[in-house]
Amino acid sequence: MKESKDFELLLFYRDYISAVQGIEAGVDGIIVDWEYKGKHDRQLGFDTEVNIHTEQTLLEARKLDIRLICRVNGHPYFLKEEVQKALSMGADEILLPMVRGKQQVIEVLEIVGDESRLGILIETREGITNATTLFDMNLSRYYVGLNDLRVDMGYDSIFQPLTNGTIESIAGYGVHMGIAGLTHPDKGFPISCHLLLEEMCRLGMGFSFLRRSYYRDLESYSAHQIISSIRSSFTQDQERNAEAITRDQQELIVAISDIL
């Protein structure tokens, strides 16, 4: 079976060697993460990951022959100079977190100058409410950040938006949307990765991130094994009939219910 390349996999940068391995295994882009201001306090008490990448990290990653994305600090720590610096140092795309409304995006677009070079993270109550107006902007990507959405909405689990209609309400608008983080389909905790992949396929998601769980599972699998398994599974998920889609969705709902 031919593996699907339609599903984009973006690897959060950890070090040069790991990035090279990821690229050789077929990732579509590398993310350098400059977002750290206020993040520790915002997510205090939650099991999250805060990267502290520097300008040197971006320069190191820029040596790689692949699309390079830089996540900058969002409101209220957003600085135009930070975006300008990332672009001048070779970032192909800017990723703006904590978007609450259209004006925030317009401010960054004035600097970036091209919608295809700007992606946003929808991870606040206002972001969800204003999602359809943001979709009109035809940006490079729209990622729903489940960790921050949980904090902002007061959910008991990061996975609740997958069962309470939140994600369903903004999916299907024809934009390049992604959620969650992936690893080998046989792994994933507390929700199995294969269930997340199946739901992403049902919702028409076009990309996802490889980060903490992916790096953890490199102890058991090679980068190629993880990435090729994700692509193969996504291809198989696309071929499911209506009965199988409903069955898999119900399995995910039960799994999430069990952890609440």
Chunked in runs of 10, what are the mean pLDDT values of the chain (260 residues)? 66 97 98 79 51 91 98 86 96 96 94 96 94 93 94 91 94 93 96 97 97 96 98 96 98 93
User: Would 206 be classed as within a structural domain?
Assistant: yes
How confident is the model at residue 84, as a pLDDT? 96
- pLDDT at residue number 74: 86
Domain of residue 61, residue span? 8-259
Domain total in the chain? 1
Task: Tell me the C-alpha distance between 85 and 67, whole Å.
Answer: 17
130 within a domain of the structure (yes/no): yes
Judged by DSSP in three states, 150 sits in helix
Does residue 3 fall inside a structural domain?
no
Task: Give the pLDDT of residue 239.
Answer: 96
Q: Please give the Cα distance from 22 to 14 (Å, whole number).
A: 11
pLDDT recorded at residue 48 = 54
Is 1 inside any structural domain?
no
CATH code of residue 185: 3.20.20.60
Model pLDDT, residue 3: 42
Write down the pLDDT at residue 172.
Answer: 86
Q: Rounded to 5 degrees, what are φ and ψ at 42?
A: -65, -35
Instruction: Identify whether 66 is part of a domain.
Output: yes
Which residues touch 5 (CB under 8 Å, ≥6 apart)? 231
